[in-house]
Amino acid sequence: MNAPGVVVLDYGSGNLRSAERAVARAGASVTVTADPDLALECDGLVVPGVGAFAACMAGLRSVGGEKLIARRVELGRPVLGICVGMQVLFASGVEHGVRADGCGTWPGSVDRLSADVLPHMGWNTVAPAAGSVLFAGVPDGTRFYFVHSYALRMASAGPLLEAGARITTCEHGEPFAAAVEHGALAATQFHPEKSGDAGRLVLSNWLGVL
């Protein structure tokens, strides 16, 4: 059986090579590119992201990434967002009091967490959603690596839940979305590529649906 072909979308964000290596270790044949045809036709598209929401959206738009994601979702072709690559899938994000438009693939806004210590940096446990594919076989109490100050706060996740999404939660000051699965689109707020064996299992589970 051939390894699934995955594209890590290169839109100027950092963390591309670590994402590439992690997805390859999980069992995929990986290409890092901004080529729209390859990104549309591949078995799975990974959208990484680090830094500021608005900057990532600007980079994504520069390569037509928001249109690629929308088209893949329309066609039922899997997409995986990571960290800010998850955040930009929502309708908007607020950083330093400035609101920026996101891809709008999912309803909701990414906002600053209400916590005594930010960023939320380090290892934390998650509560997988019922029926989660990403967390199949992941033992209770498994920890994943986070680096962020903003997230989809569960207090505002109602519209996404009403749309039928599975939301895996984490808590840092307040509950937030650690991962979302909805049709062909999945995303993690944590970094699977920095989460050791646990992250590799999540990536392997995602590859299993390709």
Answer yes or no: 83 catalytic.
yes
Please tell me which residue in 42, 56, 83, 103 is annotated as part of the active site: 83
Residue 155 carries which DSSP code?
Answer: G
42 is catalytic: no
CA atoms of 207 and 79, how far apart (whole Å) = 10
How far apart CA 80 and CA 206 sit, in angstroms, is 8
Distance CA 186, CA 119 (A): 23
CA angle 132, 76, 60 (to 5 degrees): 95
Calculate ∠ Cα 25-26-30, nearest 5°.
Answer: 70
Catalytic residue among 20, 66, 181, 193: 193
Q: Is 191 a catalytic residue?
A: yes
| Buried-state track 28-55, b at ≥16 Cβ within 10 A, e below 16 | bebeeebeeeebbebbbbbbbbbebbbb
Q: Are 176 and 187 in contact (CB under 8 A)?
A: no
Of the listed 120, 148, 172, 191, which one is catalytic? 191
Which are the catalytic amino acids? 83, 191, 193
